[in-house]
Structure 1
Amino acid sequence: MTSLSTGLSTTNSTVADLSTGVASNVASLSTGVSTANSGVTSLSTGLSTTNSTVADLSTGVASNVASLSTGVSAATSGVTSLSTGLSTTNNNLVSLSTTTAQGLSTVQSSIMASMSSAISPLLPVAGSGTQVVGTFAGGAKVDNTFQTRGPAGDAVKTVNALDCRKVDGIDTTATGLCSVAAGDGASAYGSNAQATSANATAIGFRAVASGVGATAAGYNNKAIGSQSIAIGYANVVTGASSGAIGDPNIVSGNSSYAIGNNNNVASNGVFVLGNNVNVGAGNDGAVVLGDRSTASGPNTVSVGSADQTRRITNVADGIAMSDAATVGQLQQSTSYLSNQIAGVQNQVFDLARQTSFGIAGATAVAMIPDIDPDQRVSIGMSVAGYNGYKAVALGLTGRIGDNVKVKAGASISGGKSVYGAGVAFGW
């Protein structure tokens, strides 16, 4: 019985030492976890180590309990001393359980405090609609600060994500670092995007839509005119109901559009499709097509310039009076006109020829000598020419009584004939 009591006393001392060791290990573990608050990855490693230590602790407790059970089996002859020893052992085990529970509670509290400190700065940023991934150049601190190049320039500066974003109006939306949506129905998407009028929409880094109902989509596009559109890269549209698609176009005229690159439109109602086109004031209603084409005045269509002309191909034949004629139609018209002119020329030539024949024939008839006073009948012949044409004439003159005179004649020239006859009465 004395040996059994001594053994149990030794066991109690061992268990007490074990409890003290566990408490010490748990305290050290709590200190390690507190140190690991600076990074979630280190915290995960600390938790893994803690789990291993707790497992070892469980194994040690199980081993000691097994040894205790063996000692109890051997001490069956001393029930009273055994009962006393077991009571002491139970007290030590209760103390061990209490210490272990307190240590694990400390570990859990330390873990939750560390995670809360790391996550809490991000929760208000994400809940406010501001993106916290992919919008900062140098990372974010735990005080809601991010790095940005701002609305202009290349310098990187640090801003507070909660302070630089602005939303004002009904049905407004602002998503992105330092985005601004001001005006009912305004929407801004992207870092430093600004939609500052009713129903305006700005999409992309530094996109600005300040006109009512304006839309700017793409880097540094500015849709300033009401109901204007700027899509692409660094377009600036100040005209109302105007638009620019490409990069970087400038449209200041109202109701004008430029599609392409490096175009400048300063007149109203202009449409440009091309690159490097400059339409100055005074060309309202002009349409300019092609690279480096120039406007030719108000309400004109230009497909080139004085130094760079272009052909318009695959054009249908004109039908209406105001339609443009094709080269084919012009050729047909020219051919028809040429034929008509040739016909007129032939007719003029024939007229000139016949006239020449007639003049030659008439001249020939006139050249026939008249009858002498003492003659009753006279027959004469003559020839004549005009403009290269020749004629031969034959004439007859006679007296019928003292008071009547008759005359007849005819000429032939180039197959054409001229003839005539007359009578005269005298007293």
Structure 2
Amino acid sequence: MTTGLFMAAAWADVTIGGNSYVTGSGAVCSSTGAGPTWSCQVPNGNGGIALVSGVPGDTVNGGPDAAALQTLVSGNLGNSAVLIGDTTTKATGYGSVATGIDAKATETYATALGSTSTAAGVSSTAVGNVAQAFGTNATALGANTTAVATSSLAAGDRATASDINATALGANTQAQKKSSLAAGDRANANGINAAALGANSQALADSALAVGDFATASAVSSVAVGLQSTASGTSAIALGTGTLASGANGVALGTGAVTSSTGGVALGAGATADRAGMGGKAELFSNTAVSSTQGAVSVGSAGGERQIANVAGGTQATDAVNVRQLQAVQSRAVNYGTNVDGSVNYNQVTLGNGQAPGGTTISNVAPGVAGTDAVNVNQLNAQGSQANAQNNQLRNEIRATQRDASAGTAGAMAMSGLPQAYIPGKNMVAGSAAGYEGQSAIAIGYSSITDNGRWVMKLTGSANSRGSVGVTAGAGFQW
């Protein structure tokens, strides 16, 4: 009488030395004689094979229990699968591999290696004690790691990658949103396309970037680079140890630099930019209303002021002036004189009288309105002044465009400098930096090659010194 693959009454077709059995179906079992259980190599007839320990013995006929082996083959082992473990191990997916006590590979081509590991997504991989990979192509590497979504990667003790294409690298890291990256002990990326690089770093909003131990970027498109740096304003940038940029579009550059106003810029160690934009208020002296809401540029702080050296002379109304220009103005100031009789005459100007044989320049002439009025140079050159202003504006725009282009070039160089995975079945996370004509950029990237080496996938992102970010994604098929 037979049951499934095995004989119930006379279980073994061949007995070797009393402690080894070989069945007609190809199962090979052995026992040391020290206990009632057996270790067996069991094929399922569909390309699958199980190497399993702890198989109970047949107390009536001797040898392993045929019914237990039948249950193992039918319930725990899929077609073309490999199972190495005990009776709690399962490799039920087609072409799956499960190794370790209570390891489970339940989907097609899933791989679970380690005690209590779980690979429950198509082509997923879980390696390590209690490692879990649930998404398609998800990878969990290390004890207690979890890769939840499609193409997510978690590597490191208790690392968690929760969303599509999320990557968590390092102990206790968390990559919680789509395409986020967390690398470093307890790093946390909780925004779409966010990146947190460094121990305890946090990127908590979409497209936020935090680089450095305890760095925090908590607003959309914010950037914090440096130990304990913080960027909490939208599109704010904090670069340097202990920097803080809390105003939207603010920039803090240098150790301990702080900017709290919208669009404010703090340059240099300890600099503070907390003065808001004019917002329609009038300037001193000129009484001109200025509508700009952008905060001030500061190179120091109260009690920590700095000189700005090597300043070129200002040419426009809103340009800074240097000391040389102020000295020139002082030397050319008009002083009221007296008439020939010694009295002051404010209504008539007498020129010459032998005091200025080379001619006298009349300054502060009002525009003429009648046919006999004097005409000032401003009136004569009105059209020329307008053209000059337009040319100056164009020149400034060209300079800004050049800086933007240089920053973009630096970003492209940083992206192109990223190495990528080159071994089939491997993934790589890389970082790079580049500089070009006074501008700089950093880039991060993730690349992966399928197990058969046919498909190559790559995702990169960059942030440059002009505050712009860029991303690329690509895939290739080779044969």
Tell me the TM-score normalized by structure 1.
Answer: 0.46
Q: Which has the higher strand share?
A: 2
Greater CA radius of gyration, 1 or 2?
Answer: 1
Q: Which has the higher helix share?
A: 1
Larger relative contact order (Cα-Cα within 8 Å, sequence gap ≥ 6): 1
Tell me the TM-score normalized by structure 2.
Answer: 0.41
